[in-house]
Structure 1
Amino acid sequence: MKIGAVNDFRNDLCDEIRRISAEGFDFVDLTLEPLFSHAVDAASVKEVVDETGIEVIGHTSPFLPVIFPLKKIRDVSIEEFVKYIDFFKALEVDLMNVHPSLNGTLMDEDSVFKYNKEFITKINQICRDKGITLMVESVLAPFNTPESFERLLEGLDDVMVHVDVGHCNINTPKNLTEDFFKTFGDRIVHVHFSDNTGHRDSHLPLGTGNIDWKKIVSILRKYNYDSTITLEVFSQDREYLLLSKRFLENILNSE
C-alpha cells in the first residue's frame, strides 16, 4: 500500500509538494480550495511533480454549493469543477474525488440525493472525456453508509468509491469501514485515514482517537485492498503527520 499526504492549501503548492516528497510520502493528495486554487499555475506545478517524481491524486473542494436550489448557482459550481478537472488533466492525474454535498438549503432528503446525483453524473462525464476516473468520498450523514452510496451511485457503475475511515466512525454504532468493503469491494480505489473520538471530524493523528487501526488495516487486507492511503491529519505541528506515518508503517510492517 502507498501512503500519501494532503497539501496545506493555504501554503504555496509547489513548496508543499516538495516537502511531502522530501518527507518520504509516495503521493500527494492534491487539494484545491477556492480562492487559493485561482492563483495556482498548472505548468509550474507540473514541473515540480516531474522534478520530485511524486504521484498525484486529485482532491476537490467539499464546500462549493453544488446542490443549491438555484440552477444558476449549481451551474457556476460545475464551472469551478471544470477548472479543477482541467488542472488535474494538465498534471496527468488519472484519479479525482468529489464529496456529496450536505448543504441542501431547505431541501428534503430526496432532493439532496437527486441534486447530488445530478452533480456527480455531470462531473463524471467531464472526467471521462478527459481520461480521469471519478471517485466519490464517504462523508457525514446521510452519505456515510453503504446503503446511501448504493442509492446515490445507482446506474453510475463507472464511478468509484473513496472511503474515509474517519468519517465512517462519526455518530455511528460502529466504524462502517468494513461495511463499505463488504458492499463495494474492489470498487473502492482510495482511502483516507485520520482519527477521532466518534463525535467530530477532528482529523487527529492516528492512535489519538478511538479507531482501532490494526483492525482497519486487517480489514483492508481481508478485502485485498492494496492501493493508496492518505493521512488526512490536520495540525499546526507537522510532526503529528509524520508520527502518524510512522505509526501506520509499523502496523503495515508487522501484519
Structure 2
Amino acid sequence: MTPLKIGACLTIPEIDDHRDWLFDAGRDIELQDFMTYSALTTGFEDRVAAAKTALDGHMGRVGIHGPFEGLDIDNKDAELRPLITARLLKALEAADRIGARQMVLHSPYTAWYQNNIFSFPNYAEKKLARVHEILGPVVRAGEDKGITLVIENIQDVRPETRRALVDSFGSTAIALSIDTGHAQLARRMAGAPPVADFVADAGAQLAHVHLQDVDGHADRHWAPGEGEIEWTAVFRALAASSSDPHLVLELHNKADIPKGFGALRDLGLAIGGQQSKLAESTSSQ
C-alpha cells in the first residue's frame, strides 16, 4: 500500500507551530478561522490578510471549514434560508481571497431522518428541495470561482444518502467529505457501515477527509491510534479510490498532530516528514 501525504486543520496562529512539516512537503491545510458569524462580519479584512500572510510560500492545497452552527442547509424556515445562503457565500468569498479551493459544509442527514424516511409523504424530496434552495447559489458561485463544496458526514448513517445529495446537483463544485470519527460514531450508535465502507461508497466523489480517532462514545477528535478506528482498512480504501482527497488531521489538541501523524507513518500509511517546531520543543524538554 502506497503511503499517503496528510496535512492538518489549523487556525491562522497555529500554522507557525507546524510550518516546516506543512510547507516543506506541500501538505494540505484546512483553515478553520471562517466558521462563525463574528469571523465573517468582524475584522473580516484583517482575518483574510492574516491568512494570506500565514500561507505565503505554501505550495500545497488549501481549504477552509465553512460556517455551520445554526445554519442547517435544509432549514424549514423560508425566511431564514436566504440568510444561510448569504452566510455561506461570504465564507466562499473568504476561501477565494485566500486561495482555498475547498469549503467544508455539514450534512443535513441524521439517524432520525434515516429511520423516518417513509413516515412522512415526500419527506426525502422536500428535504432535498430545501437543500437545493439554500446551496444552489453557493454551488454556482463555487463553479465560477473554481471552489468545491465538500459535504461532511456528521450524524449520517447511510453514506449513499449523502452521495445521492451530491450527485443531485450534477456539478463538479460539490463533492463528498468524510470525517472518520463521525463515521465510527455512527457505526457504534446507529449501526452504520465501517469507516472504510464510507470511503469505498464515496468513490470518485471523495474530495476531503477529516482524520480523527474516537472511542465510539463521543466526538473526541483524538490523534489516530488513541481510539478504535481501523486505520489500515481506512487507508486501504483510500488507496483504492480513484480520487485524490485532501487528507487532514482534525484534532482538538493541535499539539497531538505530530503524534497522530507519527502513528499513521509508523503503520506505513503516511508519507514521512520533518517534525513540527512543537514536536521538537516537546521532545527536548
Task: Please state which band the TM-score falls in when normalised by the shorter chain.
Answer: 0.7 to 0.9
SS at match of 1:148: helix
- Structure 1 match to 2:79: 72
Contact 1:62–1:101 under 8 Å retained in 2: no
The correspondence of residues 173-184 of structure 1 with structure 2, limited to 5 A, is 173=191, 175-184=193-202
Which of the two has greater helix per residue? 2
CA distance in 1 between counterparts of 2:128 and 2:217 reads 24
CA distance in 2, matches of 1:254, 1:191: 14
Please name the residue that 1:249 is paired with: 265
Q: Is the 8 A contact 1:166 1:196 kept in 2?
A: yes
Q: 1:87 aligns with which of 87, 94, 98?
A: 94
3-state DSSP class of the match of 2:225?
coil
| Kept in 1: contact 2:158–2:192 (CA 8 A) | no
The residue aligned with 1:33 is 35
Cα separation, partners in 2 of 1:214 and 1:71, compared to 1, 3 Å? same
TM-score if structure 2 supplies the norm length? 0.74
Alpha-carbon shift at residue 27 of structure 1 (Å): 2.6
Aligned to 2:10: 7
| Residue 199 of structure 1, CA deviation | 2.7
Name the aligned partner's letter for residue 210 of structure 1.
E
SS, match of residue 2 in structure 1 = coil
Structure 2 partner of 1:221: 239
Q: 1:196 to 1:60 in 2, by over 3 A?
A: same
Q: In structure 2, do the counterparts of structure 1 residues 154 and 224 end up closer, same or farther at CA, with 3 Å as the change threshold?
A: closer
Q: Name the CA distance, whole Å, in 2 between partners of 1:176 and 1:118.
A: 32
Distance 2:160 2:109 in 1: 16
- The higher relative CO (CA closer than 8 Å, separation ≥ 6) is in 2
Asked if the contact 1:144–1:167 (Cα under 8 Å) also holds between the matched residues in 2, the reply is no
Q: Alignment RMSD, CA only?
A: 2.8
**Corresponding residue for residue 169 of structure 2:** 156
Checking the alignment, whether the CA contact within 8 Å between 2:66 and 2:91 is kept in structure 1 is yes
Whether 1:121 and 2:127 are equivalent positions in the alignment is: no
Contact 2:200 2:237 in 1 (8 A): no
Larger Rg over CA atoms: 2
Give the unaligned 5+ runs of structure 2: 113-119, 272-285
| Amino acid in structure 2 at the alignment position of 1:33 | M
Q: Aligned in 2, Cα 1:169/1:30: closer, same or farther, shift over 3 Å? A: same
Shift of 1:220: 1.2
Q: Mark the CA change 1:99 to 1:253 in structure 2 (over 3 Å): closer, same or farther.
A: closer
Q: Hey, what's the Cα distance between the residues in 1 that align with 2:138 and 2:270?
A: 40
Equivalent residue in structure 1 for 2:17, among 16, 19, 25: 19
Q: Compute the displacement of 1:89 (Å).
A: 0.8
Q: Alignment identity in percent?
A: 21
Among candidates 41, 44, 48, match of residue 50 of structure 2: 44
More deviation in 168-177 or 27-36? 168-177
Contact 2:84 2:134 in 1 (8 A): no
Alignment check: 8 A CA contact 2:214 2:229 kept: yes
CA contact (8 A) 1:217 1:252 kept: no
